[in-house]
Amino acid sequence: MLLRHLRYLLAVADQGGFTRAAEVLHVSQPTLSQQIRQLEESLGVSLFDRTSRTVRPTDAGQAYIECARRVLVELEAGKRALHDVKDLSRGTLRLAMTPTFMAYLVGPLVRDYVARYPNIHLEIFELSMDGIEAGLADDSLDIAIAFDQVRSADIESIPAFTETLGLMVGRDHPLYEHQDALSAQEVAQLEFALLTPDYITRTCIDEFFAEAQITPKVVIEVNSVNTLLEVIRHSTIATILPEPIATQDRALRKLSMQGEAPERGAALLRRKNNYHSAASVAFVDLVLGSDLF
């Protein structure tokens, strides 16, 4: 059995058939079929059910495919370890953040990281929590900043800081210059534009409203942080987002509310029991030692 066999096996599984897999691999279909047959003969089992129009893994094939994925991930990590440069004179960092963290953290962190390690090539991705967990699992990401509510036991969560959410408005809002803390009754009278319910931030906001016994007037829901900020800047509608987003250059102002503001834990996420490059370790040290939070 060769590594080629494993790559061919995963291509057939991922593409759902030999024809498409052969195209992706840039080999002929007969060659691909022959390689899979060789693998099956060496293992003594059938890996795919070829009796239907769609090629599906057998039970044995599905179990072997999952093992093959883990093997290739570990081999890729080993390859990166061989090429890692400990003095950070070169290297690559594959970094991801969820959208709300990206809105205010990526700029300062990248600025500080590049100033310290100018020869490290950065690849930055804005992803959902699901996308981050998947990227860490398949080794397409090195490190991420996201929420500490990790579902996968294979992902390590390093507490980084506590993020506070705040009520904010744009310059056109009648409360833009308001100084006193708003009561729950006053907050309930505001019109809100919020992120859609599929955002974890929205879940935190909804929990805050429920605990404060506020039924918010949600007149707009948006599935993009940048779009939401544009809405707030050009309307008389309020929102709730991480407090650092409310800055003068964004023409936003944070309003005080009576009681405790909603908080949530932010964490650095990385794959457990995996090789962590020098560039990745340096980023962790930067975040944990930063005075940005």
Evaluate whether 3-83 and 164-259 have a shared fold.
no
Angle between the 3-15 and 18-25 helix axes, to the nearest 10 degrees? Answer: 130
87 pLDDT higher than 90: no
- Place 12 in a pLDDT band, splitting at 50, 70 and 90: confident
pLDDT single digits (tens) 249-277: 788 999 999 988 889 999 999 998 778 88
pLDDT single digits (tens) 166-176: 999 999 999 99
In sequence order, what are the beta bridge partners of 91? 120
Pick left, alpha or beta for residue 253 (phi over 0 → left; psi -120 to 50 → alpha; otherwise beta): beta
In percent, the amount of the chain with pLDDT more than 70 equals 97
Q: How is the chain split into domains, by residue range? A: 3-83, 91-161+265-288, 164-259
Assigned CATH topology for domain 91-161+265-288 = D-Maltodextrin-Binding Protein; domain 2 (3.40.190)
Considering the chain, what is the average pLDDT of its residues?
89
pTM of the full structure = 0.71
Domain 164-259, CATH among 3.50.50.60, 3.40.190.290, 3.40.50.1820, 3.40.50.300: 3.40.190.290
Please state which CATH number belongs to domain 3-83: 1.10.10.10
Other C-beta atoms lying within 10 Å of the C-beta of residue 49: 13
